[in-house]
Amino acid sequence: NFNIILLTSIIFVNQKAQETAATHVAGLVEELALPAEGIAVAINNRIVRRPEWETTLLAEGDRLTVIRAVCGG
């Protein structure tokens, strides 16, 4: 008999509290169903380059800014 415990943390995404089970940026992008292209992510005012998303860990209380590219004229 196994018990499964999901650990979650509270972070802030664009100034809104967000409960997440994601442990790294890539997991959060997937969890929030964000597009794979056309976004930039910063944690605590530091840009996280896309190649670092898989290895950049999230911590309780982190403040993320997600910016989506918008095309138009």
Report the distance separating Cα 62 and Cα 37, nearest Å.
23
H-type helices in 1-73, by residue range? Answer: 25-31
Mean pLDDT of 1-18: 83
The string of pLDDT tens digits covering residues 14-58 is 999 999 999 999 999 999 999 878 999 999 999 999 999 999 999
Banded model confidence at residue 73, pLDDT cuts 50, 70, 90: low
Residue 25 is given by DSSP the state H
pLDDT at 2: 66
